[in-house]
A and B are shown apart, each in its own frame.
Chain A
C-alpha cells in the first residue's frame, strides 16, 4: 500500500531575513570589506548578502575579543553562567525561528532542524552554563584558567549546532571567541549574534566574522589567538595543524570520517536497517560520523539488502520545509558535484549502484538516496568521505574480519555495532579504533557525551566534562 502525502510546509513567516548582514564585532554589526551571497540550496534563490571579512576585519575582531577577555575572564563563574543560561533560554524561545532559518540556509529537513539541531543547541548552552562556576571540580587541576581568545571555524552541515559546540564551552571557561561560520550557511550564526545582543552579553565576548577559506586562514593564523578549534575536512585540518606548529596555540580538530556500521547475523534486522538508514541518510549524509560503510555478515546479507531497499523506497526527498520530508537539499552545487563525481567513480570501479524511484525537484541541489553493492575495500567509495546520501555495502564472515575491515581506514571518528549478544558488543567496541561507538543505535548526540576522533579524524573532544579541557589552561 502506498500513502500519498499532502504538502505540509512549515511557514517561513516567523523569520525575517535582512537583505544584507555585516560582521558582528565588539557587540555591533559592522560593514566588512566586501560581500557575498548566501542562497537557499533547495531553490537556488538568494537569501541575503553577507559581509566577507578581510584580514583587517579579522584583526578588528581579534582585538575586540582580546579587549573583552580582560573583564570576561575575571567575571565570577556564577555570573558567566547566568549569561549562558540566558542564551540557552532565548534559543528555546526563538527555536522555531532558528529551525526555519537553518533549513532555509542549509537545506536540511525542518523535522531535523526543529527536533534535533535546535534542541541540542539549547541543551549544549544549558549544560556548559552549569560548568562555568564549577571548573575546579572538573578534574583539570585546582586552578584551571581560560586560554584567552579562541579562533573557531565551523562547517556547513550543522551550522548552529557546531556554533554551540564551540562557543558554549569556550565562554563557560572564561575565554572570548571569534567564530567563522561556513560561507554557505552564515545566517543562523548571525541570528545568534542578535541573540547575544538580546542577552546583553558584554561586547566583544562573541564575535562572528563571515567569509570563506581566506577569512578562516587569517583567523587561525592570527598571532593574537590562543586557541584554535576547527570542525571540517581532514585536508583543511592538516593545513591548520601545520600552521600552528611551533606556536603555543592549543588546537582541537574534528575532521572527516568513514564510519563502519557492522550488522551481525543475530541482530534485530528491522531495527538495524532503521539505524543504517538513519546513519547514512540523516542530514543528507552531510555528517562527519555518518555510517557510510555498511558491513553485513554474509549469512544475513540478502535479508538486510531487501529490507534496506524497501525502507529506502519510502524515504521522501524534497522541500526541506515540508514536515514530512526525510531527505532535504544537498548544501551546495560544489558538494553535489563531489557526490556525483565519487558516485560515478564507484560505478567505474565496478560497484553496483541502486537508488529507489525518486522524483527530484527541478531547482536546487538534490541527490537521491543511493547504495553501492559489490564494493571492495580498495574502492574509492569505501575509502574516501563522500559526505552525501551514499552508502557502500561490504560483507564479512567472522567477527575478526569485521573488526579488521572496520578499522581499515585512516579515519577513526565513529562506528556502529548491531547484535543481540552483549559480550560481543563489548568485545567489538573495545577493538574498534573510533571515538564514538554506537551499539544497537546510531547518530545519537548529547551535550554530556564527548565526541571526537582517533587517527586522522582529528584530536580533542567536544561535549561533556572532557570538552572543557580544550578551553582551559591546565599547566598550573
Chain B
C-alpha cells in the first residue's frame, strides 16, 4: 500500500480579499514552503485596498463588526487556530460596541451646549512585524480601522488570512504581506495614505527608530516597541471627536 501524497498549499499574499502572488514574482523559503515575498508595489496595492475598505468598515455598526470578529473566532476554532488566539478574538469581538462607552464622554461644559466626545478609528494602520498576529490585527480592526500587516511568518499569516477571508470580513479590511519588515516597512512608513504605524512587536530598535522618523513627515500615530495592553493597543489607533451643539428652544 502506498502512502498518500500530500497536497501542498501555495503561500500567497492577502490583499483586498484576494490571495495574489507578489507582483515581483519573488518568493522566500519559510518552513520548507516557498512563500510570496512582498514588494514595494504590493505594499502600495495593499494600502489602496485598505483605504478603499475603510469607509464601509468604519461605517458598519459596532454590533456588526463585533459579529464578524466573533465569526472569525468560530472559523479559527474549526480550522485549528490555537485556543488562546481564538479566545483573544472573542475578547476583542466583545469590545466593538463597548469601547465608545468606556472611553467616550459627555462633557459638562459651562454653557448651554450639548458636548459629546466619541472615539473614531484613525484610518489605515501599518502593522510592521507584529509579535502576535491575532492580537495585533484584532485590536486594530475591531474599532473600525483597516490594516496592512507585514510579517515574515508566512505559514501562520496565510492560515490566519484564510480565517478572515471566510468570516464575512469585507475584503481590504485586513491585508497581509508576507516578507521582510526591513524591506516593506519603510514604504508604509512614508506612504501618505497610511495614518498610523504599529511597531509594538518589532524587535529591531534601529528599524523601529528609522520607521518612526519616516512617519513624522505625515505625522502618523506610532505605537512604539514597548509593552502595551489590549486597551492601549485599541486607543493608540483611535481619534477623539468632540461635537458641540447649542441647547435652546
B203 at interface, CB cutoff 8 A: no
A461 at interface, CB cutoff 8 A: yes
Interface CB pairs A-B, < 8 A, 11: A238-B219, A245-B212, A246-B213, A248-B226, A410-B218, A440-B245, A446-B110, A454-B239, A454-B241, A459-B219, A466-B117
Asked whether, in the complex, the Cβ of B243 is within 8 Å of the Cβ of A429, the reply is yes
A279 at interface, CB cutoff 8 A: no
A253 at interface, CB cutoff 8 A: yes
A267 at interface, CB cutoff 8 A: no
Q: Restricting to A218-250, which residues have a CB under 8 Å from any CB of B?
A: 234, 237-239, 241-242, 245-246, 248
Q: In the assembled complex, which residues on chain A have CB atoms less than 8 Å from the CB atom of B103?
A: 139
Selected from A246, A435, A450, the residue in CB contact (under 8 A) with B205 is: A246
Asked whether, in the complex, the Cβ of B218 is within 8 Å of the Cβ of A475, the reply is no
Given A241-B219, A248-B226, A459-B219, is A448 in contact with B109 using a C-beta cutoff of 8 Å?
Answer: yes
B82 at interface, CB cutoff 8 A: no
Q: Restricting to A452-471, which residues have a CB under 8 Å from any CB of B?
A: 452, 454-456, 458-459, 461, 464-466
Q: How large is the interface on A (under 10, 10 to 19, 20 to 34, 35 or more residues)?
A: 35 or more
CA distance A205 to B210 in the complex (A): 34
Asked whether, in the complex, the Cβ of B246 is within 8 Å of the Cβ of A441, the reply is yes
Q: In the assembled complex, which residues on chain A have CB atoms less than 8 Å from the CB atom of B212?
A: 241, 245-246
A449 at interface, CB cutoff 8 A: yes
Asked whether, in the complex, the Cβ of A464 is within 8 Å of the Cβ of B117, the reply is yes
B80 at interface, CB cutoff 8 A: no
CA distance A452 to B238 in the complex (A): 12
Given A234-B219, A435-B241, A449-B117, is A246 in contact with B110 using a C-beta cutoff of 8 Å?
Answer: no
20 extra A-B contacts, CB within 8 A, seeds A441-B244, A449-B117, A455-B219: A242-B216, A246-B205, A246-B208, A410-B218, A425-B245, A435-B239, A438-B244, A439-B243, A446-B109, A446-B111, A448-B107, A449-B109, A450-B105, A454-B122, A454-B241, A455-B195, A459-B221, A464-B107, A475-B227, A475-B228
A437 at interface, CB cutoff 8 A: yes
A381 at interface, CB cutoff 8 A: no
Q: Restricting to A402-446, which residues have a CB under 8 Å from any CB of B?
A: 410, 425, 429, 434-441, 444, 446
Selected from A246, A458, A464, the residue in CB contact (under 8 A) with B219 is: A458
CA distance A237 to B103 in the complex (A): 26
Q: In the assembled complex, which residues on chain A have CB atoms less than 8 Å from the CB atom of B102?
A: 139
CA distance A441 to B113 in the complex (A): 9
Minimal beta-carbon separation of B129 from chain A (angstroms)? 16
Choose among B113, B210, B221 the residue with the greatest number of A CB atoms under 10 Å from its CB: B113
Given A241-B215, A441-B246, A455-B195, is A446 in contact with B241 using a C-beta cutoff of 8 Å?
Answer: no
**B120-155 CB contact bits vs A (8 Å, 1 = yes)?**
001000000000000000000000000000000000
CA distance A429 to B114 in the complex (A): 14
Asked whether, in the complex, the Cβ of B105 is within 8 Å of the Cβ of A446, the reply is no
B242 at interface, CB cutoff 8 A: yes
Asked whether, in the complex, the Cβ of B219 is within 8 Å of the Cβ of A253, the reply is yes
CA distance A465 to B209 in the complex (A): 30
Asked whether, in the complex, the Cβ of A444 is within 8 Å of the Cβ of B209, the reply is no
Asked whether, in the complex, the Cβ of A123 is within 8 Å of the Cβ of B246, the reply is no
Residue of B nearest to A448 (CB): B107
Q: In the assembled complex, which residues on chain A have CB atoms less than 8 Å from the CB atom of B232?
A: 474-475
Minimal beta-carbon separation of B111 from chain A (angstroms)? 7
A101 at interface, CB cutoff 8 A: no
> Which residues does B use to contact A, with CB under 8 Å?
102-103, 105, 107-111, 113, 115, 117, 122, 195, 205, 208-210, 212-213, 215-219, 221-222, 224, 226-228, 232, 239-246
Minimal beta-carbon separation of A74 from chain B (angstroms)? 25
CA distance A384 to B221 in the complex (A): 22
CA distance A436 to B109 in the complex (A): 14
Interface of B, secondary structure class, is mixed
Asked whether, in the complex, the Cβ of A446 is within 8 Å of the Cβ of B107, the reply is yes
Asked whether, in the complex, the Cβ of B107 is within 8 Å of the Cβ of A444, the reply is no
Asked whether, in the complex, the Cβ of B213 is within 8 Å of the Cβ of A449, the reply is no
Q: In the assembled complex, which residues on chain B have CB atoms less than 8 Å from the CB atom of A410?
A: 218
Asked whether, in the complex, the Cβ of A434 is within 8 Å of the Cβ of B241, the reply is yes
CA distance A434 to B219 in the complex (A): 15
Q: In the assembled complex, which residues on chain A have CB atoms less than 8 Å from the CB atom of B195?
A: 455
Asked whether, in the complex, the Cβ of A449 is within 8 Å of the Cβ of B244, the reply is yes
A255 at interface, CB cutoff 8 A: yes
Q: Restricting to A69-83, which residues have a CB under 8 Å from any CB of B?
A: none
CA distance A18 to B117 in the complex (A): 43
A281 at interface, CB cutoff 8 A: no
A396 at interface, CB cutoff 8 A: no
Q: In the assembled complex, which residues on chain A have CB atoms less than 8 Å from the CB atom of B226?
A: 248, 475
A451 at interface, CB cutoff 8 A: yes
Q: In the assembled complex, which residues on chain B have CB atoms less than 8 Å from the CB atom of A429?
A: 241, 243
Selected from A435, A437, A464, the residue in CB contact (under 8 A) with B105 is: A464
Minimal beta-carbon separation of B210 from chain A (angstroms)? 8
Asked whether, in the complex, the Cβ of A255 is within 8 Å of the Cβ of B110, the reply is no
Residue of B nearest to A444 (CB): B244
Residue of A nearest to B225 (CB): A246
Q: In the assembled complex, which residues on chain A have CB atoms less than 8 Å from the CB atom of B107?
A: 446, 448-450, 464
Minimal beta-carbon separation of A300 from chain B (angstroms)? 20
Q: In the assembled complex, which residues on chain A have CB atoms less than 8 Å from the CB atom of B245?
A: 425, 439-441
Asked whether, in the complex, the Cβ of A449 is within 8 Å of the Cβ of B218, the reply is no
Given A434-B241, A435-B242, A437-B244, is A444 in contact with B113 using a C-beta cutoff of 8 Å?
Answer: yes
Residue of B nearest to A432 (CB): B241
Asked whether, in the complex, the Cβ of B216 is within 8 Å of the Cβ of A241, the reply is yes
Residue of A nearest to B117 (CB): A450
Minimal beta-carbon separation of B194 from chain A (angstroms)? 11
CA distance A429 to B243 in the complex (A): 7
Minimal beta-carbon separation of A151 from chain B (angstroms)? 17
Q: In the assembled complex, which residues on chain B have CB atoms less than 8 Å from the CB atom of A234?
A: 219
Residue of B nearest to A426 (CB): B243
Q: In the assembled complex, which residues on chain B have CB atoms less than 8 Å from the CB atom of A441?
A: 113, 244-246
CA distance A454 to B227 in the complex (A): 25
Q: In the assembled complex, which residues on chain A have CB atoms less than 8 Å from the CB atom of B219?
A: 234, 237-238, 241, 253, 255, 455-456, 458-459
Selected from A237, A248, A450, the residue in CB contact (under 8 A) with B240 is: A450
CA distance A246 to B212 in the complex (A): 7
CA distance A245 to B189 in the complex (A): 13
CA distance A465 to B216 in the complex (A): 27
CA distance A454 to B119 in the complex (A): 11
CA distance A234 to B216 in the complex (A): 10
Minimal beta-carbon separation of B56 from chain A (angstroms)? 13
